[in-house]
A and B are shown apart, each in its own frame.
Chain A
Amino acid sequence: MTIISRRNFLQAAAGLVAATGVAGRPSVASGSPGPGDLATLIDCTLCDGCVEHDVPLCVSACRERALEKIPDPVRPIPEPFPRGQIEDWSERKEVLDRLTPYTQLYVEKVDLVIDEERQTIYIPRRCMHCDNPACATICPFTANHKYPNGAVVIDKNLCFGGAKCRDVCPWAIPQRQSGLGIYLHILPTLAGNGVMFKCDLCYDHLLEFQVPLCVAACPRDAMIIGLRRDIFNEAARRQDRINGYLYGKTENGGTGTVYLSPVPFSEINKVIAKGPGQPHLDPVTRRLARAVFLEASVLMSPVIGTGAGIAAALIAMKTRGTDRGKTREKSTGKKDGNLNNDG
């Protein structure tokens, strides 16, 4: 089993190599670390929200990286025509109670009363890294992509900030910072509106055989990362042990993030803050699953067209042969009249 947390950080590099099969491999075209999806388990029975710290350590680590990586937007930020809606978080970097470009992970404190017992649960929220993420597959520029290690990563150099990824994400996770990115060099007021940001599972760290910063920062091993099957097995084991609940394993057709909670997520979902940048915990079905028949038909359409074309050509050639005979017969007895041509 290859499960990595902060405590076995030293083994992590070796473990990750084993998990992703990178060791000794030449670099592959996609730049991915190799085959084998990674998954993370977020164990809400262990997360205590780092109450002794001003900011949970996972959030601090994540934000530090984001603040380093996100350049300052241009001033003034071009006003997108015609709506003029600029999303500028650069003046509100300290916002910690929702997802923003600079806060790609936040921890929500949830107070619940279950069976007359008061319980407090802390839930770190970020991108779920879906198995078939519409945010990536239908990005019009392939700025967003799911890599073979399971990480769904937005390329900030290619993203136009149209927010299609946010629109198709069931949790509306990606967040826009206007005034950045490639759109500034093309049609800044007419097309695009910045760059979308979200958790990328610290993709650059994964490439260097390091675990994501949030996993490394957690003092209670509330987050672990490893091969998907190992993480799912571990999640099931812990679920059985506490008679708990899982979220994320089947949502949106399956994700690379599993939450474990001692209380039903439906109960948590009732009390958590929901709104822009504050994702729900509803059960989620994958909307594009309804288009599977259409997608399969698209892939089959060349075969259908080819088959029909061959059949029609054979029929036409046979008919033409028959007509030729008839025309010859006619033309011997009659000079004018309709003319047919054989090609």
Chain B
Amino acid sequence: MMADGIMEEDRNLIRRHGLTELIEHWAIAISGIALIITGLLELPIGRRYYITEIPGFSWAGDYFITLSLHYAAAIVFAAAAFFHLFYHGLRGDNALLPRRGDIKASIAVMKSFFGKGEEPPFHKYLPEQRLAYAGMALLIGLLILSGLIKTYMNLLNPQLSRVIALMATWTHNIAFVLFVFAFIAHLAALVIKPNRPLLRGMFTGSVRLDYARRRHPLWVEAVEGSVTNSSIGVTGDEEVLAGDIEKHAGADSVPSEHRERGTGFETSEPMEKES
């Protein structure tokens, strides 16, 4: 059974993200973390709080070094963000864009995490993921715009109007604080057990098919049905990796059951326990 299980698990996958999306995500994530660290070190905290005395961190009090590192990370961050905007914009990928009713649905999903009510069936993304994406995109947009103005001032026009300089600086600072909170919330979402199977997708590009059937039936249905409609979350990168998809939990009946009952938790497949 063990061998069968492993084999079955090996094939029990659905591709969720292509290589391009993975590269985009990690470019933004890694450069974003570097920007948070070097951004914090633009404040006079390195020496005051003994950070420079941590072995290997003597550079943390040298603003020319921290700023150079901030610039280097910003190049990756801004390039990846603009790549994302144009790549997905031109392809018409809109699965992550918020839709009508997402706020209400998000509240229902949040409640379900605390045992109140059941989750509705999901498309490729959860409604709160779509809302979080919009919020994060806004913050990233503000950070990049204000950062570019500040860089322009540093490089080409130190005598920029003070009003513009102040607006850029304070937009950058406030958006930075919100970005840190958003980043923490992004990580905190993984603390919620039902979300954890999605983590695999950000590393390998695939998630478990049984998980997807249970929680994202609308998406799986679209993938299996080869529905040509990106608005329901199919971007063209998805691919069911199982050799025989029908082995996995009654493919033909699940989506409709989900829609009717609003949940697929009653399946007997081994999966993450919902709380």
Do A341 and B239 contact each other (CB < 8 Å), given the known contacts A298-B148, A336-B244? yes
The segment from B86-94, B178-186, B198-206 that touches chain A is B86-94
Count residues of A near B (Cβ-Cβ below 8 Å): 65
Which of B86, B92, B144, B166 sits near A309, CB closer than 8 Å?
A: B86
Select the stretch in A10-18, A101-109, A132-140, A275-283 that faces chain B.
Answer: A132-140
Candidates A131, A138, A302; contact of B79 at CB < 8 Å: A302
B163 — which chain A residues lie within 8 A by C-beta? 29-30
CB 8 Å contact bits of B135-165 with A (1 = contact, 0 = none): 0000000001001101111110011011111
Residues of A within 8 A of B241 (CB): 338
A72 interface residue (CB < 8 Å to B): no
A interface footprint on B71-100 (CB within 8 Å = 1, 0 otherwise):
110111111111111111111110000000
Given contacts A287-B64, A294-B68, A312 and B230 within 8 Å (CB-CB)? no
Assuming the A-B contacts A167-B63, A295-B154, A298-B151, are A343 and B230 also in contact, with contact meaning beta carbons closer than 8 angstroms in the complex?
yes
Within the assembled complex, what's the spacing in Å between the Cα atoms of A132 and B147?
18
Stretch at the interface among A142-150, A221-229, A235-243: A142-150
From residue A288, how far is it (CB to closest CB) to chain B in Å? 6
Residue of B48, B75, B93 near A80 (CB, 8 A) is B48
Kindly report which residue of chain B lies nearest to residue A155, judged by CB atoms.
Answer: B162
Task: Please tell me if B134 contacts chain A, counting CB pairs below 8 Å.
Answer: no
Stretch at the interface among A56-64, A110-118, A313-321: A313-321
Task: Contact check, B154 vs A31: say whether CB atoms are below 8 A apart.
Answer: no
Give the docked Cα–Cα distance between A309 and B81 (Å): 9
Q: Tell me if B58 is interfacial: C-beta within 8 Å of chain A.
A: no
Q: How far is the CB of B28 from chain A (nearest CB, A)?
A: 11
Interfacial chain B residues near A32, Cβ < 8 Å: 159, 161-162
Indicate if A51 sits at the interface (CB-CB under 8 A). Answer: no
Query: In the complex, A28 Cα to B162 Cα: how many Å?
Result: 10
Q: Tell yes or no: B195 within 8 A of A by CB.
A: no
CA distance A131 to B159 in the complex (A): 9
Given A306-B82, A312-B87, A339:B240 Cβ within 8 A: yes
**Contact A313 B64, beta carbon cutoff 8 Å:** no
A168 interface hit (Cβ, 8 Å): yes
Q: Which chain A residue lies CB-closest to B161?
A: A30
Q: Which residues of A contact B244 (CB under 8 A)?
A: 336
One of B71, B75, B162, B223 near A30 (C-beta < 8 A): B162
- Residue-by-residue, is A288-329 near B (CB-CB < 8 Å gives 1, otherwise 0)? 101110111111011111101110111011001000000000
Among A141, A290, A292, A341, point to the contact of B236 (Cβ < 8 A): A341
Q: Which residue of B lies closest to A131 (CB)?
A: B158
Residues A313 and B48 in contact, CB atoms below 8 Å apart: no
Contact B228 A342 (CB under 8 A): yes
B103 CB within 8 Å of chain A: no
Decide: B223 and A341 in contact? CB cutoff 8 A. yes
In the assembled complex, which residues on chain B have CB atoms less than 8 Å from the CB atom of A316?
Answer: 20, 87, 91, 236
Say whether, besides A30-B161, A291-B64, A82 and B90 are in contact (CB < 8 Å): no
Verify B159–A299 contact, CB threshold 8 A.
no
- Let me know if A262 is at the binding interface, CB within 8 A: no
Q: Does B42 contact A (CB under 8 A)?
A: yes
The residue of chain A having its C-beta at the shortest distance from the C-beta of B229 within the complex is A343
A340 at the interface (CB under 8 A from B): yes
For B226, the closest partner residue in chain A by CB is A341
Contact B72 A294 (CB under 8 A): yes
Neighbouring B residues of A80 by C-beta, 8 Å: 48
Q: Which residues of B contact A148 (CB under 8 A)?
A: 159
Residues of A within 8 A of B155 (CB): 292, 295-296, 299
Least CB distance from A140 to B in Å reads 5
Residue numbers in B under 8 Å from A30 (CB-CB) = 161-163
- Is B43 at the interface (CB under 8 A from chain A)? yes
**B64 and A168 form a contact (CB under 8 A):** yes
**Complex CA distance for A119 and B64, rounded to whole angstroms:** 39
CA distance A320 to B92 in the complex (A): 13
Query: Is the pair A302, B44 in contact by a Cβ cutoff of 8 Å?
Result: no
B75 to chain A, nearest CB (A): 5
For the complex formed, measure the closest distance between the CB of A203 and the CB atoms of chain B, giving whole angstroms: 11
Interface residues of B (CB under 8 A from A): 20, 42-44, 48-50, 61, 63-64, 67-68, 71-72, 74-93, 144, 147-148, 150-155, 158-159, 161-166, 168-170, 173, 222-224, 226-230, 234-241, 243-246
- Residue contacts A-B, CB under 8 angstroms, 9 given: A28-B161, A32-B159, A32-B162, A146-B158, A146-B159, A164-B43, A290-B68, A308-B83, A309-B85
Given contacts A133-B158, A167-B44, A305-B79, 8 further A-B contacts (CB under 8 A): A164-B43, A164-B63, A297-B71, A301-B74, A301-B79, A302-B79, A305-B78, A343-B234
